[in-house]
């Protein structure tokens, strides 16, 4: 099991155990369009790493490559030291990678609790026959799944909404529900794709508090976010994509002042530190 980074007295993190996720010179072409070109970056255990860039920079494409929804044209993606290129999304989730989506994706007609139960489906071992025959093992797994789902809902503050239709929740709580569903996978790495999109300041503050607390408990996070104040306040390191290329990487203060980053947002913002374009 991957351990949380230890913190030295000087405040730096011990990276001796190697990166949790490593992107090695990854490129992705769609016909004649290069969405990503030779991107390399690392996410270390215990990090909150931000991934920013203007619309069309390749951020969601990179998430789709990491989670097996797309396959890179070239390069390699390694999780815990092993290549995951060519694995299915289900296999990658089983290794310990979960994600949320830029546009909230909920199942109509399902309750909040049922969404979290769906997220935890990979933990089931009984199979179709066990479900049909209602074997003792199947019943035990169902009880464990219910207990796990309730624990997650309590953890994220959604227990009181458990029996409500998921689509009836305010957008801010729908975003939290997506995180809860991803937590049910039992991930070591959480990919959050614009979790703050469409949220008001109070909802964003609640979201940030949840992300910080999950990280404090050992969750590694790779965060795509257009709200620069949100990502700058959360991430300990930020990577910047522009037109499919990695143009900068470093701590938030260095990224805020990097001329290449400012140029990427030029015409969209007065300065990096406010909401990015898109």
CA dihedral 264, 79, 42, 240 (to 10 degrees): 10
How far lies 127's CA from each of 38, 94, 134, 135, 193, in Å?
41, 16, 11, 10, 32
For residue 189, the surrounding DSSP H or E stretch is strand 189-193
Considering the domain architecture, whether residues 88 and 207 belong to the same structural domain is answered as: yes
| Residue 89 and residue 196 in one domain | yes
State the pTM of this model: 0.82
pLDDT above 70: residue 231: yes
Q: Is residue 11 part of a domain?
A: no
- The DSSP 8-state label assigned to residue 227 in this structure reads B
Other CB atoms within 10 Å distance of the CB of residue 27 = 18
- Residue that is last in its domain, among 186, 212, 230: 186
Q: What is the DSSP letter of 163?
A: T
Is residue 119 located within the same domain as residue 253? no
Structural tokens at position 190: 């959480």
137 lies in the same domain as 178: yes
Residues 124 and 249 in one domain: no
Percent of the chain with pLDDT over 70: 83
The residue from 153, 171, 186 where one domain ends is 186
Q: Does 85 share its domain with 194?
A: yes
Rounded Cα distance between 136 and 144, Å, is 12
Largest CA-CA distance found in the chain, in angstroms, rounded: 64
* pLDDT band (50, 70, 90) for residue 13: low
Query: Which letter does DSSP use for residue 3 in this model?
Result: P
| Mean pLDDT (whole number) for 69-83 | 97
CATH code, domain carrying 260: 3.40.50.300
Distance CA 180, CA 167 (A): 15
- Is there a domain that residue 103 lies in? no
Q: Average the pLDDT over each of 61-70, 175-184, 268-277 and give the range with the smallest value.
A: 268-277
> Quick one: average pLDDT of 103-114?
88
For residue 249, what are the domain limits? 19-96+187-278
pLDDT at residue 142, rounded to an integer: 78
Please tell me whether residues 202 and 115 are part of one structural domain: no
127 pLDDT above the threshold of 80: no
Q: Which of 150, 157, 152 is nearest to 207 (CA)?
A: 157
Say if 265 falls within a structural domain: yes
Residues 173 and 221 in one domain: no
To the nearest whole number, what is the mean pLDDT of the chain? Answer: 86
Count of domains in the chain? 2
Judge whether residue 69 has pLDDT over 80. Answer: yes
């Amino acid at each position: 099991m991957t351990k949380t980074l230890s913190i030295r007295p000087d405040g730096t993190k011990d990276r001796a155990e190697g990166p949790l996720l490593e992107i090695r010179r990854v490129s992705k072409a769609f016909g004649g369009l290069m969405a990503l070109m030779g991107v390399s970056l690392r996410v270390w255990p215990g990090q909150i790493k931000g991934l920013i860039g203007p619309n069309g920079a390749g951020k969601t494409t990179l998430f789709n490559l990491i989670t097996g929804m797309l396959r890179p044209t070239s390069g390699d993606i390694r999780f815990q030291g092993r290549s995951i290129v060519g694995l299915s999304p289900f296999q990658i989730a089983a290794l310990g990678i979960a994600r949320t989506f830029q546009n909230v994706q909920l199942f109509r007609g399902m309750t909040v609790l049922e969404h979290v139960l769906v997220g935890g489906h990979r933990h089931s071992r009984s199979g179709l026959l066990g479900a049909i025959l209602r074997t003792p093992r199947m019943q035990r797994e169902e009880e464990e799944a219910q207990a796990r789902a309730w624990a997650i809902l309590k953890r994220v503050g959604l227990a009181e909404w458990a029996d409500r239709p998921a689509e009836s929740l305010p957008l801010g709580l729908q975003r939290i529900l997506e995180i809860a569903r991803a937590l049910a996978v039992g991930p070591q790495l959480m990919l959050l794709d614009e979790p703050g999109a469409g949220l008001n300041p109070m909802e964003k503050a609640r979201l940030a508090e949840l992300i910080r607390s999950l990280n404090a408990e050992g969750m590694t996070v790779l965060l795509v976010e257009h709200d620069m104040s949100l990502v700058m306040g959360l991430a300990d390191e930020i990577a910047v994509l522009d037109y499919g290329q990695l143009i900068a990487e470093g701590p938030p203060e260095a990224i805020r002042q990097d001329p290449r980053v400012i140029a990427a947002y030029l015409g969209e913002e007065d300065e990096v530190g406010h909401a990015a374009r898109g």
